[in-house]
Structures are given as structure tokens and as C-alpha cells.
Amino acid sequence: MIMNEVGDHRDEVSPKPRSLAEKLEHLLTVTAPSGQRPPSNEEVATAINIAAGEKTISATYVWQLRTGRKTNPTMRHLEALAQYCGVSAAYFLDEDEARKIDDQLGLLEALKESDARDIALRSTGLSESSRRALHSMIDQLRKLEGLPDT
């Protein structure tokens, strides 16, 4: 057990909340197509403005948000950025929601790897016992290679 700033005991330490800039950069990186770099500020702004049918955001403002120079965007901007990345605006506002979405994005990232996608696709149609055996084999291989449990 540890003490927090006001002297209360708690059982676990919550991870430090990420900044808007960190969350945005993470989203833009993991949602980029496999093998491609994250989109430029101009690409993000252009796509958002085309989707909105009007000038909603500038490339400079996207840059300011990505670098942490601006930290308090309007809800309209958060919603536009979230929509561009294919997530809920709650990602930027609620740390628990951000963690849930990050877990889902982790799966997306894994599936970008052709080998992981191939394994997932080839396991379709296997019996439950065969899928459990495959799961067990993967766990053993991860341990042998010193990788963390998933």
C-alpha cells in the first residue's frame, strides 16, 4: 500500500494521464495504414475540412495540438479529430475510455502485421479446443522469447 498526496492509502498507482498531444500523436501513428508514416498536419486538416464541407481546422492548429503548444481545443475540434481517427471524442476526455480504445487499437496494430493477420484468419473454423491449443502454444512461444503476457 502507498500513500497519495493527501495521506490516503491506496492499493494501486494509476498511470499518469497522457496529454492531449500524446494521445493525438498516438492515435495518428496507430491508425496510419501499415507501412505508412503518420499523416502530416496538412493531410489531417485537409481531410477534416473536406469531411466537414468547410474550413474547420488549419494545419497550423493541428501542429499546435500535436506538439502541445495548444492544449484546450474546442469540442468541435476534438470531435473532428476523433472522427478523423475513427474513435469517440471521449478518447481525449476520459482516461479510462482512452485505455479501452488503446486496447482495441493494439489489436488493430497487431493485425496490421501480415503474419498475425494470417494466423488469425487461418484459425477461423477451428474447434474451440483447437483454438485453446493454439492460444496455449502462442503463450508458450511468448514465454520462450521473453515477451510479456498479453
Within 10 angstroms of residue 131's Cβ, the number of other Cβ atoms is 13
State pTM to two decimals: 0.66
Q: Per-residue pLDDT for the chain (150 aa), expressed as one digit of tens each?
A: 444 444 444 455 567 889 999 999 999 998 888 778 999 999 999 999 999 999 999 999 999 999 999 999 999 999 999 999 999 999 999 999 999 999 888 877 777 666 766 777 788 888 888 888 888 888 888 888 887 776
Task: Please tell me whether residues 133 and 96 are part of one structural domain.
Answer: no
Q: Strand, coil or helix: what is 123? A: coil
Task: Please tell me whether residues 101 and 142 are part of one structural domain.
Answer: no
Task: Please tell me whether residues 32 and 100 are part of one structural domain.
Answer: yes
Provide the number of structural domains found in the chain: 2
Domain limits for position 149? 113-150
Task: Please tell me whether residues 92 and 29 are part of one structural domain.
Answer: yes
CA distance 18 to 8: 23
CATH code, 65: 1.10.260.40
Residue 107 maps to a domain:
yes
Residue 42 maps to a domain:
yes
Task: Please tell me whether residues 27 and 41 are part of one structural domain.
Answer: yes
